[in-house]
A and B are shown apart, each in its own frame.
Chain A
Amino acid sequence: MAYHHHDHTNRKSLLDTLYCSEAEEDYGHFLNNSSPASPPFLLQSDMFSDEQELTSLLGKEHHNPLSTCLQTNPALDFARREAVEWMLKVNSHYSFSALTAVLSVNYFDRFLFSFRFQNDKPWMVQLAAVACLSIAAKVEETHVPFLIDLQQVDESRYLFEAKTIKKMEILVLSTLGWKMNPPTPLSFLDYFTRRLGSKDHLCWEFLSKSQGVLLSLLGDSRFMSYLPSVLATATMMHVVKSVEPGLEAEYKSQLFGILRIDKEKPEKVNSCCKLLLEVWSGYEEEEQEQGKQCMKRKFGIGSIPGSPNGVMDVSFSCDSSSNDSSVSSSPEPLSKKSRSEEQEQLLLPNPNHSNSDFLHRL
């Protein structure tokens, strides 16, 4: 997806001070499928009313109540984290965009909340993850792999036939009311960088760093309780703090001004920033030098500390996009791969809904 920003060449921006002349190829692979040497085309656009766009985004955003359920259901939380990590690995393998990753997790979380998975069928969570990633790729990407190929990237416990995935795709689409373009934190990141930015390369670099942080948080269900605008604001604050701590206060006031943050939102942003800092600093010491270099080279994360729970490290490792094995595109039967006994016994109750209730509510 191309990022649009307004031409602010006549005024100095806070983002100017964050500019650093790292090689362009540091970020190329992360943002789109183009060759690393060519940055994505940042379109000049003055046709949108900023206020209208922001009002539209804010009007459509809402957080997923699933976060509350996950706090009381560790088994479901574990299954979700595992599914999200798998989706991020596949996303990286096929060089899908950051938006594809965020959308697939968004669909998955909305579906997880709306649909009660049967206790004796934990594999349905994985099937939902495959379907959600497939749908996100179809919404956002030009070239989408065969359904069977999506499953060959990482050693999944289950391998589903294409017709089974298609049925789950239909169920996901129907359950979500075919609303597949929700506002995400990336929508706000894009909006912020257009409003604050002044240099093409700078906007792009800042965006890539913020996206890197954001993607690494997707597996942590605690961040689901925050609105996309709040999460985007906290993410940008975190990036500013890690790159240029002295600018944090000034930058914060600009961001809050753009977002028209007044009453309860500042507390939410501060709370989210605090959690983000806690999560990242908790893993800073554990991160190995190799992983740090990999992230720095590939995403321009630079001084930002290591990712929580190994999400970024696993999902976006340096060699994740290489694939030596040849993969058949013909549908294969559903089969179960071995995992530990403990994981096989996963029960995934959703305390809020039953299938029949859900179907009658539609």
Chain B
Amino acid sequence: MWNEESDWIGSFDSQLARLAECRMCSRDRGERPDATGMDLEVLEVAEEGSYGRVFRCLDIHTGALVTMKQITMVRLSQGVPAPIIREVSLLKELHHANIVKLLRVGLTENRYVNLVFEHLDYDLHHFIVNRGYPKDALTVKSFMYQILSAVAYCHSLKVLHRDLKPSNVLIDHSKRLIKLADFRLAGEFADDLLYTEKLGTSWYRAPEILCDSRQYSTQIDLWSVGCIFAEMVIGQPLVQAINCRDELEGIFKLLGTPTEETWPGITKLMPNLHIYYPKFDALGLETFVTDLEPSGLNLLSMMLCLDPSRRISAEAALKHAYFIDVNYVSLLLL
């Protein structure tokens, strides 16, 4: 049996190689010209993280710029990592102008999964930091409309993004086009909690998540979109804290410590609420978000509503008066 297994693994490897080749290299089955084995010329390493590396590449057949996310499969005992399966399978289903296109999936020596995406210039985080944030009110409005369009589309397919933040919002600067990316944590609506401290910044997380609720839905994405909205207007995150507890305190200072009247069920969700947090009176969004027209402030307050059941949906947000002067024609032509 041992010999049989090793023989089989050998042939299995060649099958996998051929399978990957058939999928990735449809034009040329000859010698591969680059280290990635995907007929891509690596131009630069754009980013390095704990999960792997991101490369800016040139597709040698089309000449198009692409982004390749190379994810290392380190934990052999667990096989293909769950986030990769989730992200790829969801992106295979999501076809929308404001969601990044996954062009192909490849394998390198069975140690890496290579995800090749269309290339976009930069993300919203860099746009805000490096360009002094979009001061033009119409740009903010256009970006918001596009983000909400993508989120509404995801929600219509019963998919939550779960990790919306400026660095996951990509920008094609020439077309003023927005695309959502990084669906590693995304999934169909579930009653399990996928967020943990180690998953990165808590600045864009909904209060129900910060309160450890296991009962959350589409509203968590709308809170994140609200945080992004505010950040585009003021040029910095609305509430910045080093941990979940401080983040909640910052939110309560801004919007007021919730009560059963303002957030029915909060005392059940957080029985020790008034032990851990003082009773803050709301400072109000208008105190911090000053350069926003009244209808925009109204929409923002509907997104940043503490009670998830009263938070506006993406579909409803798109119909809000704030977007009455969005140039729909130019958006349709994107």
Contact = CB atoms under 8 A, between A and B. Distances in A.
Interface stretch (A83-91, A137-145, A299-307): A137-145
Contacts of A283: none
Given A32-B191, A134-B79, A362 B92 contact: no
A74 interface: no
B217 A2 contact: yes
Interface string A14-56: 0000000000000000001110000011011101110011001
B111 to A, nearest CB: 10
A174 B23 contact: yes
Nearest to A359: B18
A33 B189 CA distance: 16
B194 A170 contact: no
Contacts of B314: 47
A328 to B, nearest CB: 11
Most buried by A among B13, B76, B89, B193: B89
A362 B79 contact: no
A337 B1 CA distance: 11
B79 A162 contact: yes
Contacts of A141: 192
Contact of B16 (A2, A164, A170): A170
B191 A139 contact: no
A181 B214 contact: no
A44 B85 contact: no
Interface string A153-172: 00000000011111111110
A147 interface: yes
Interface stretch (B4-12, B130-138, B287-295): B4-12
Contacts of B1: 334-336
B35 interface: no
Contact of B85 (A32, A43, A135, A360): A135
A178 B2 CA distance: 31
Contacts, number: 145
Nearest to B7: A121
B20 to A, nearest CB: 7
Interface in B7-49: 8-9, 12-13, 15-16, 18-20, 22-23
A216 B158 CA distance: 27
A359 B156 contact: no
A144 B82 contact: yes
Contacts of B313: 47
B259 to A, nearest CB: 22
A100 to B, nearest CB: 11
Interface in B63-95: 73, 76-82, 85-86, 88-90, 92-93
Q: For chain A, what secondary structure do more than half of its interface residues adopt (helix, strand, loop), or is it mixed?
A: mixed
Contacts of A359: 15, 18-19, 22
Given A139-B89, A148-B77, A43 B217 contact: yes
B76 A181 contact: no
Interface string A167-189: 11111011101111100000000
A179 B22 contact: no
A47 B313 CA distance: 7
A162 B76 CA distance: 6
A139 B85 contact: yes
B157 interface: yes
A55 B22 CA distance: 33
Contact of A142 (B2, B193, B218): B193
B73 A166 contact: yes
Interface residues on A, range: 35 or more
A167 B89 contact: no
Interface string A91-132: 000000000000000000000000000000100000000010
Contact of B12 (A52, A140, A171): A171
Contacts of B309: 44
Contacts of A362: 19, 22-23
Contacts of B156: 47-49, 52-53
Given A134-B79, A174-B16, A329-B77, A360 B22 contact: yes
Contacts of B240: none
A47 B78 contact: no
Given A1-B191, A164-B5, A359-B18, A135 B78 contact: no
A355 interface: yes
A355 B80 CA distance: 23
Contact of A334 (B5, B105, B192, B218): B5
A47 B18 contact: no
A166 B8 CA distance: 14
A146 interface: yes
Contacts of A1: 188-191
Contacts of B79: 131, 134, 138, 147, 162, 165-166, 169
Contacts of B76: 162-163, 166, 331
B80 A169 contact: yes
A333 interface: yes
Contacts of B158: 4, 48, 53
10 closest A-B pairs by CB: A138-B82, A180-B89, A2-B191, A166-B79, A142-B192, A362-B22, A47-B313, A41-B215, A178-B88, A334-B5
Interface of A: 1-2, 4, 32-34, 40-41, 43-45, 47-49, 52-53, 56, 121, 131, 134-135, 138-142, 144, 146-148, 162-171, 173-175, 177-181, 329-331, 333-336, 355, 359-360, 362
Interface of B: 1-2, 4-5, 8-9, 12-13, 15-16, 18-20, 22-23, 73, 76-82, 85-86, 88-90, 92-93, 105, 107, 110, 155-158, 187-194, 214-215, 217-218, 309, 313-316
12 contacts: A2-B191, A47-B156, A47-B218, A53-B158, A138-B82, A139-B187, A140-B188, A147-B79, A171-B19, A174-B23, A334-B2, A359-B18
Given A173-B85, A362-B22, 14 more contacts: A1-B190, A2-B217, A4-B189, A32-B191, A48-B156, A53-B158, A138-B81, A144-B82, A168-B12, A169-B79, A170-B110, A178-B88, A178-B105, A329-B77
